[in-house]
Amino acid sequence: MYISRRLRRFLTGATGCLLVVVYVPLMLIILYAFNESRSQKWPIAGFTTHWITEAIGNSGARDALVLSVEVGLVATAIALVLGSLLATAVNRFRFFGREAVSFLVILPIALPGIVTGIALNATFRTLFGGLSLLTLVIGHATFCVVVVYNNVIARLRRTSGSLVEASSDLGADPWQTFRHVTFPVIRSALLAGALLAFALSFDEIVVTTFTAGSSQTLPIWIFANLSRPNQLPIVNAVALGVILISAIPVYIAQRVAGDAVSIGETA
């Protein structure tokens, strides 16, 4: 498709502006994590790894990190089971309200986080009498399911249904069909969905605020210590760690999904 030179320049400029807006603040936080001074003044006074060491040795940050990883893993596991089952049912079967089910599954991630958080908070206090680690995991699973569902159903819709039919015609039972046909097809989508779901759970703060109770995940710890001047350099160092931990699964998920699409197109 032909694109005029003027339009190409406009798109290039818009892309550059977007990257600047997104990544300059992140680069600034990274620089402040190595700043010799406690105050955030530009230019930075000098480079040091002291705050990185302080962050690693901070017991509060370590405990919050462990909790965030635990919650992310459990919520991702729940999302893998529920998201893949929902995607398989919606893609394979025709039933009344099928499109409504798909819409309701996706809706939680489209709603403002504060609305979802308030709704979950009211529900948990009514049903469970309060907030706990369980309510935190359930709260994270509500939006992690959406990520897995979207990845799996997109892969299933690009896969011919004749593969499942052929498996049944050859005498395979539903479990054998899933193990030898369906699972190999959606395996990379499950991996990409799991990585994205974990990254989303690890960074979540809005829903977490309304569902965590006394539990403190790493984003909550960062927010709680952000207003303390003495802790600010350590917060910047912890934020650097969060950026790295979040970027790795997202990068792997992007590569896995991209490689899977390329393989599918050339098969």
CA gap 114, 198 in Å, rounded: 20
Q: b/e map of 2-16 (b: 16 or more CB within 10 Å)?
A: eeeeeeeeeeeeeee
Q: What is the pLDDT of residue 70?
A: 93
Q: What is the pLDDT of residue 266?
A: 40
Question: Among 89-98, 204-213, 253-262, which range has the highest average pLDDT?
Answer: 204-213
Question: Is the Cβ–Cβ distance between 238 and 34 less than 8 Å?
Answer: no
Confidence label for 258 from pLDDT (cuts 50, 70 and 90): low
CA gap 97, 116 in Å, rounded: 23
Q: pLDDT by residue (tens digit) across 152-183?
A: 888 888 776 666 667 666 666 667 777 777 77
Confidence label for 80 from pLDDT (cuts 50, 70 and 90): very high
Q: pLDDT by residue (tens digit) across 14-36?
A: 888 988 888 888 888 888 888 88
SS3 state at 39: coil
pLDDT at residue 262 is higher than 60: no
Mean pLDDT of the chain: 82
Taking the complete model, does pTM exceed 0.85, yes or no? no
pLDDT at residue 85 is higher than 50: yes
Among all chains, which residue has been given the structure tokens 């893993």? 73
Q: pLDDT by residue (tens digit) across 103-133?
A: 888 888 788 888 888 999 998 998 888 888 8
Question: Is the Cβ–Cβ distance between 201 and 75 less than 8 Å?
Answer: yes
CATH of domain 65-154+191-266: 1.10.3720.10
Q: What is the pLDDT of residue 263?
A: 40
Residue 120: other Cβ atoms inside 10 A: 20
Of 221 and 172, more confident = 221
Q: pLDDT by residue (tens digit) across 37-67?
A: 777 777 777 788 888 888 888 888 889 999 9
